[in-house]
């Protein structure tokens, strides 16, 4: 119990240190004097590039970590994650479709709204395909179907794109990154993320009750239908708001809850907030790493997260297979 008391302060301290590193590290290293001196170039880099990037890393990492913990708690499945279940891909398909149709140029909110709509359609389809009591295999297969649909739709949009340059930009955006984002992107993504987080946190009692199974949850007065769609709306908002500005950054929602669970316990409600803070730390750390890697151009953040998450995913599958055997 004493150890758990220090988990949140420690995670918050790590996020703070990584945020400072994210602001300072880059091709041009910013020192503490940039806050005090009247250096126009340094102030521009700080306020228009580094600070929005760090804040976006915190918001998007928290959203993905929270979404992953909520899905794992609701489905009672350690493989549940917006990325592995195809929800992020559906959000990306919705956003890409709005770009292709030209609707994203009509208003800044059209792109995130399209991403949110795609994520919500993905969540609803996932629940319909797999059901609440789905096994790990059924859940993974349902996620594969969703991912295949989304990837096919994105490929069709790219093949029909009239401009090779525009297609290349869409592909780079899909790989996931925080580079070249501004405060406008932060203002666009934050409202849906905050609204989605509020819906997820309001589902804490239902998530805890579902550890007793559906019958046990109903006996405690939980409306499972309402909880299902409340969670679908919450995850759709946080994932859609994130993907709309950063592209697909996978495996955060899968990895973080497993890292945090031994520290705070297996109770779903106790895992939500620490997973959000841990997700912010992981994305910030990955974003710092991509700027430190050698090379002429910066590696996309989504690629680094996949390199971290894919081996973790395979190790988790292997561990589950051994337990079943």
Closest alpha carbon to 239 in 88, 98, 58: 88
Q: In this model, does residue 1 exceed pLDDT 60?
A: no
Residue 18 neighbours by CB under 8 Å, 6+ apart: 281, 284, 285, 288
Q: In this model, does residue 61 exceed pLDDT 80?
A: yes
List the CATH number of the domain containing 254: 1.10.3470.10
Predicted model pTM: 0.88
* Sign of the torsion angle spanned by Cα atoms 233, 234, 235, 239: positive
**What is residue 24's three-state secondary structure?**
helix
**pLDDT score for 273:** 95
Enter the tokens of residue 223. Answer: 């409306």
Interhelix angle 268-292/252-264, nearest 10 degrees: 130
Unique residue bearing structure tokens 């579902």 = 210
Domain region containing 156? 2-324
Q: In this model, does residue 136 exceed pLDDT 60?
A: no
Which of these ranges, 31-40, 137-146, 200-209, has the smallest mean pLDDT?
31-40
**pLDDT one-digit tens code per residue, 80-122:** 788 878 888 898 898 888 888 888 778 878 888 888 888 888 8
**pLDDT score for 131:** 61
Enter the tokens of residue 299. Answer: 């590696």
Confidence of residue 201 (pLDDT cuts 50, 70, 90): very high
Unique residue bearing structure tokens 């859940």 = 139
Q: What percent of the chain has pLDDT over 90?
A: 22
Q: In this model, does residue 33 exceed pLDDT 80?
A: no
Closest alpha carbon to 241 in 300, 184, 202, 196: 196
Q: How far is CA 22 from CA 10, 26, 105, 170, in A?
A: 18, 8, 31, 25
Q: Is 251 left (phi over 0), alpha (psi -120 to 50) or beta?
A: left
Give how many domains the chain has, as a whole number: 1
Average pLDDT of the residues of the chain: 83
């Amino acid at each position: 119990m004493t150890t758990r008391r220090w988990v949140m302060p420690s995670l918050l301290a790590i996020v703070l240190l990584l945020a400072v590193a994210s602001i300072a590290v880059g091709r041009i290293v910013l020192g503490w004097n940039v806050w005090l001196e009247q250096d126009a170039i340094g102030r521009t880099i700080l306020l228009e590039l580094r600070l929005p990037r760090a804040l976006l890393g915190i918001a998007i990492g928290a959203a993905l970590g929270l979404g992953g913990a909520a899905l794992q708690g609701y489905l009672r499945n350690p493989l549940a994650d917006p990325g592995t279940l195809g929800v992020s891909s559906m959000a990306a398909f919705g956003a890409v479709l709005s770009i292709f149709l030209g609707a994203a140029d009509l208003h800044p909110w059209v792109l995130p709204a399209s991403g949110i709509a795609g994520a919500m359609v993905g969540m609803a389809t996932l629940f319909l395909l797999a059901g609440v009591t789905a096994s790990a295999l059924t859940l993974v297969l349902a996620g594969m179907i969703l991912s295949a649909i989304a990837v096919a739709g994105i490929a069709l949009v790219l093949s029909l794109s009239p401009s090779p340059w525009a297609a290349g930009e869409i592909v780079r955006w899909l790989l996931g990154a925080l580079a070249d984002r501004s405060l406008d992107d932060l203002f666009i993504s934050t409202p849906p993320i905050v609204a989605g987080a509020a819906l997820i946190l309001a589902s804490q009692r239902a998530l805890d009750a579902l550890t007793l199974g559906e019958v046990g949850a109903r006996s405690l007065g939980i409306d499972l239908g309402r909880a299902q769609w409340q969670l679908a709306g919450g995850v759709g908002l946080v994932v859609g708001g994130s993907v709309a500005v950063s592209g697909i950054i996978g495996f955060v929602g899968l990895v973080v809850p497993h890292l945090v669970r031994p520290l705070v316990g297996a109770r779903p409600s106790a895992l939500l907030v620490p997973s959000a803070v841990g997700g912010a730390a992981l994305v910030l750390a990955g974003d710092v790493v991509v700027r430190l890697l050698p090379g002429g151009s910066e590696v996309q953040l989504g690629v680094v997260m996949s390199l971290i998450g894919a081996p973790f995913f395979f190790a988790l599958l292997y561990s589950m297979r051994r337990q079943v055997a």
